[in-house]
């Protein structure tokens, strides 16, 4: 780079601060570093007793790249390489317990990059870093036995404290860039690595929190520390709930009267998933559950009339629990609120808006778990075989339908129901899932649980072309089970079978799946949220931390509100200005996905309650008790990956030597010239200094 260009650069940078003009501004730095933009970091989480996940050193961990195609490559570089620390680039299939331990024990590894290697899901076979028994501390003892675990492929690495940073590089171009650099600089004579410049990576994912949640909360509190920096945040967001028909009468003159003596059928599903990295997928769990719950809400809204509910004194509640992956945060909080009389609203017994609902008011709890495996029948798991549960299981199993149901008594996969059963063993609940003794989903809580895992293919159709969707598709599957569950619930409320001809809209199921799996700007989301403009990547379904904008939850709650709400006239500006309370909210939403431009005013019962573990609000909570979820997420400043060329030690030594020699030499020379300047420079003949030239 030349002098003038550098001169100009300084000013260029000053000016660029004010004018966003794309101009000649490449600094030396830009030529030295290549940002790997599609990287997803693994970050650190903490619970009451441990820390899990990864963290880099402060300012970033650096290491020499080594591409590994086989396990032997990894072993070789650990044994032979002299330029350590190394950062191996591994395809996902090589990432397992053995490899990780090899890397940790060698002390020559400073970070790890994972990539998909463009392999399709069916080559990978299985990829799940969840425990073999998910949520082991908050589930009921004995529901996950050693000889028959729910998630047999689980490595448990998600709950491992890894001493170096790990990133997942998503785009193949970025992996190609790293490979190119590796081949050019590193991929020969490994024994001489120490003597030459090597292609390296800097992984920066420094985590502020450490040790465990109580430590980190204590350090973050202003009382014990004058520096008010937050080191970690509790995991949590909001639970979403809605009732099929309003829980209150009215509104008359802006006043509502709670309907108090009803019993409730709860239909629940979880709203979140997780993965080792920032990016999540979650097709089978939780998206199939969410979509089934949403279409069930729509179906029941079409079939169960207000009179039926009034006659049977039974209403339906839809619960979407958030944070269930991390020791049932959402359901624990919901139950805690119920037991303290804070559900559906704080101090529900004292306020005359909505009836207080407790676990004893719940007649039946139907939880929809993973439903991604379309080739099998469905299984109804339950622990407590009370009368209501048995009746309902019979209704499901006896219907002659395209999808057979099988009852699995004395069994309970990881589900929100655990929380309620822990509180009272006679709680009437069951879980509907696609697996009997172990998950049929080989990618539980991983980035591979994507649309191809549940064989989803989107069909952009109108109602007339509905026959294009094959009968063995996930769309049909969900439509069928929604109808079966829906009719059983109809019967549970009214006492007689459903005779109408209402059907679940296959196109709607198709659209709903598309919303979660491919494009969040889909028709359903357009209908419930005007002027939506999200990037065309699936919405993150990680629970996140309190206070974060959680688009998936917001859009799901609006969709649930839309499906359970009722129209109160044309949509206009007055609609949203109507009197709002906990009982009712008003939204302008489209009439249907076929008439997106026809806006109606909807009265919606949907609401949200906080889904943050009670452990964080109970004073002097015993963190080691394990009673409530205690997960927190560390804070960080930046997450990034840069590719660069690491200079060899010899080069630094040489530069230093040249610099020092030239400096010492110049000192001697200048001193010499100065001391003998009267001889060296002949003094000029004294003249009067010119005053003008």
Partner 1 sequence: MTVADFFGCTFLAFGPPFAMFVFTIAHDPIRIIILIAAAFFWLVSLLLSSTIWFALVPIRNYLEFAIFYTVIFQEVFRFVIYKILRKAQNGLKKITDNSATFIENKHILAYVSGLGFGIMSGAFSVINILADSVGPGTMGLKSGNEMFFLTSSCISLCFILLNTFWSVIFFNACDNRNLIHSGFVVCSHLLASYLTLLNGVSSWGCIVPLYLILIFTGCLAFKVVGGSIASIKSCLSFK
**Contacts with partner 1, residue ranges (CB under 8 A):** 1-12, 15, 21, 23-24, 27-29, 31-34, 60, 62, 181, 197, 199-200, 202, 642-649, 651-660, 662-664, 666-667, 669-671, 674, 676, 679-684, 686, 689-693
- Taking the least distance from each CB to partner 1, the nearer of 85 and 251 is 85
* Residue 87 Cβ vs partner 1, minimum distance, rounded to whole Å: 12
Best CA proximity match to 519, nearest among 509, 506, 534: 534
- Taking the least distance from each CB to partner 1, the nearer of 422 and 646 is 646
| CA pair distance 459, 371, nearest whole angstrom | 20
| CA pair distance 663, 606, nearest whole angstrom | 76
Unique residue bearing structure tokens 């590994």: 68
Unique residue bearing structure tokens 């100065």: 674
CB atoms within 10 A of CB 511: 23
Phi-psi category of residue 544: left, alpha or beta, with phi > 0 → left and psi -120 to 50 → alpha: left
Run of H or E residues at 14: helix 3-16
Contact 296, 484 (CB under 8 A): no
- Collapsing DSSP states into helix, strand and coil, what is residue 279? coil
- Taking the least distance from each CB to partner 1, the nearer of 618 and 657 is 657
H helices of 340-447, where?
387-398, 417-423
- Taking the least distance from each CB to partner 1, the nearer of 15 and 137 is 15
Contacts of 24 (CB under 8 A, 6+ apart): 5, 8, 12
* Residue 195 Cβ vs partner 1, minimum distance, rounded to whole Å: 12
* Residue 2 Cβ vs partner 1, minimum distance, rounded to whole Å: 3
- Taking the least distance from each CB to partner 1, the nearer of 618 and 660 is 660
Best CA proximity match to 521, nearest among 535, 508, 509: 535
* Residue 646 Cβ vs partner 1, minimum distance, rounded to whole Å: 6
Query: DSSP letters along 413-436, please?
Result: -S-THHHHHHH-TT--EEEEES-S
H helices of 186-278, where?
213-220
- Taking the least distance from each CB to partner 1, the nearer of 227 and 691 is 691
* Residue 690 Cβ vs partner 1, minimum distance, rounded to whole Å: 6
* Residue 664 Cβ vs partner 1, minimum distance, rounded to whole Å: 8
Unique residue bearing structure tokens 């001809």: 501
* Residue 31 Cβ vs partner 1, minimum distance, rounded to whole Å: 5
| CA pair distance 576, 588, nearest whole angstrom | 7
- Taking the least distance from each CB to partner 1, the nearer of 3 and 375 is 3
* Residue 83 Cβ vs partner 1, minimum distance, rounded to whole Å: 12
- Taking the least distance from each CB to partner 1, the nearer of 110 and 526 is 110
Q: Which residues pair with 567 in a beta bridge?
A: 602
- Taking the least distance from each CB to partner 1, the nearer of 63 and 428 is 63
Contacts of 599 (CB under 8 A, 6+ apart): 570, 571, 572, 588, 589, 590, 591
- Taking the least distance from each CB to partner 1, the nearer of 197 and 391 is 197
* Residue 668 Cβ vs partner 1, minimum distance, rounded to whole Å: 8
DSSP 284: I
- Taking the least distance from each CB to partner 1, the nearer of 223 and 685 is 685
| CA pair distance 58, 558, nearest whole angstrom | 41
CA diameter of the chain:
125
* Residue 35 Cβ vs partner 1, minimum distance, rounded to whole Å: 12
- Taking the least distance from each CB to partner 1, the nearer of 306 and 660 is 660
| CA pair distance 508, 592, nearest whole angstrom | 10
| CA pair distance 443, 575, nearest whole angstrom | 44
- Taking the least distance from each CB to partner 1, the nearer of 6 and 148 is 6
Q: Are strands 378-382 and 405-409 parallel, antiparallel or unpaired?
A: parallel
* Residue 13 Cβ vs partner 1, minimum distance, rounded to whole Å: 9
| CA pair distance 371, 280, nearest whole angstrom | 18
Contact 640, 230 (CB under 8 A): no
* Residue 203 Cβ vs partner 1, minimum distance, rounded to whole Å: 11
| CA pair distance 159, 144, nearest whole angstrom | 18
Reading the block at residue 547, the tokens are: 């206070």
* Residue 18 Cβ vs partner 1, minimum distance, rounded to whole Å: 11
């Amino acid at each position: 780079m030349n002098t003038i260009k550098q001169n100009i650069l300084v000013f260029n940078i000053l000016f660029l601060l004010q004018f966003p003009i794309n101009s000649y501004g490449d600094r030396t730095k830009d030529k030295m570093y290549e940002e790997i933009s599609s990287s997803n970091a693994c970050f650190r989480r903490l619970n009451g007793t441990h820390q899990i996940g990864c963290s880099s050193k402060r300012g970033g961990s650096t290491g020499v790249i080594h591409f590994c195609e086989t396990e032997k490559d990894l072993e070789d570089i650990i044994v032979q390489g002299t330029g350590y620390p190394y950062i191996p680039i591994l395809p996902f299939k090589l990432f397992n317990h053995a490899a990780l331990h090899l890397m940790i024990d060698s002390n020559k590894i400073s970070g790890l990059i994972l990539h998909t290697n463009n392999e399709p899901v069916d080559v990978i076979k299985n990829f799940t870093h969840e425990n073999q028994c998910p949520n082991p501390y908050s589930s009921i003892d004995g529901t996950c036995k050693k000889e028959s675990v729910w998630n047999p492929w689980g490595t448990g690495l998600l709950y491992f404290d890894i001493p170096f940073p790990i990133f997942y590089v998503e785009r193949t171009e970025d992996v190609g860039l790293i490979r190119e650099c590796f081949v050019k600089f590193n991929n020969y004579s490994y024994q001489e690595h120490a003597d030459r410049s090597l292609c390296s990576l800097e992984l920066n994912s420094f985590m502020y929190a450490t040790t465990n949640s109580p430590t980190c909360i204590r350090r973050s509190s202003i009382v014990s520390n004058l520096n008010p920096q937050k080191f970690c945040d509790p995991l949590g967001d909001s639970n979403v709930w809605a009732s099929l028909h309003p829980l209150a009468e009215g509104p008359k003159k802006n006043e509502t009267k709670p309907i108090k003596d009803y019993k409730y059928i709860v239909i629940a599903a979880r709203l979140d998933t997780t993965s080792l990295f920032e990016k999540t997928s979650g097709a089978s769990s939780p998206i199939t559950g969410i979509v089934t719950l949403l279409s069930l809400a729509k179906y029941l809204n079409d079939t169960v009339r207000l009179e039926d509910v009034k006659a049977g004194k039974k209403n339906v509640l839809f619960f979407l629990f958030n944070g269930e992956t991390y020791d049932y945060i959402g359901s624990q909080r919901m139950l805690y609120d119920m037991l303290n009389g804070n559900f559906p609203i704080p101090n529900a017994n004292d306020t005359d808006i909505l009836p207080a609902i407790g676990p004893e008011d719940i007649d039946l709890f139907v939880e929809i778990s993973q439903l991604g495996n379309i080739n099998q029948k469905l299984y109804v798991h339950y622990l407590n075989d009370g009368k209501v549960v048995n009746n309902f299981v019979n209704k499901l199993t006896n219907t002659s339908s395209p999808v057979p149901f099988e009852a699995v008594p004395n069994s309970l996969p990881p589900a929100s129901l655990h929380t309620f059963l822990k509180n009272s063993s006679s709680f009437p609940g069951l879980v509907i899932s696609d697996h009997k003794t172990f998950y049929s989903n080989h990618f539980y809580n991983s980035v591979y649980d994507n649309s191809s895992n549940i064989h989803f293919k989107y069909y952009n159709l109108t109602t007339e072309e509905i026959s294009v969707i094959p009968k063995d598709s996930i769309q049909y599957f969900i439509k069928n089970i929604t109808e079966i569950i829906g009719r059983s619930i109809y019967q549970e409320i009214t006492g007689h079978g459903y005779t109408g001809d209402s059907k679940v809209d296959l196109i709607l199921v198709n659209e709903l799946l598309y919303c979660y799996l491919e494009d969040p700007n889909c028709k359903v989301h357009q209908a419930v949220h005007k002027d939506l403009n999200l990037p065309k990547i699936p919405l993150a379904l990680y629970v996140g931390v309190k206070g974060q904008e959680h688009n998936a939850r917001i859009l799901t709650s609006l969709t649930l509100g839309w499906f359970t709400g009722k129209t109160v006239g044309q949509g206009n500006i007055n609609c949203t200005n109507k009197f709002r309370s906990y009982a009712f909210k008003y939204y302008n939403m489209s009439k249907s996905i076929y008439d997106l431009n026809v806006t109606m005013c909807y009265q919606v019962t949907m609401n949200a309650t906080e889904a943050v573990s009670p452990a964080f609000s109970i004073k002097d909570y015993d963190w080691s008790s394990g009673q409530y979820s205690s997960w927190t997420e560390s804070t960080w400043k930046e997450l990034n990956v840069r590719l660069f060329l690491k200079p060899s030690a010899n080069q630094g030594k040489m530069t230093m030597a040249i610099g020092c020699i030239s400096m010492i030499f110049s000192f001697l020379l200048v001193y010499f010239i100065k001391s003998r300047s009267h001889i060296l420079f002949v003094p000029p003949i004294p003249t009067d200094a010119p005053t003008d030239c």
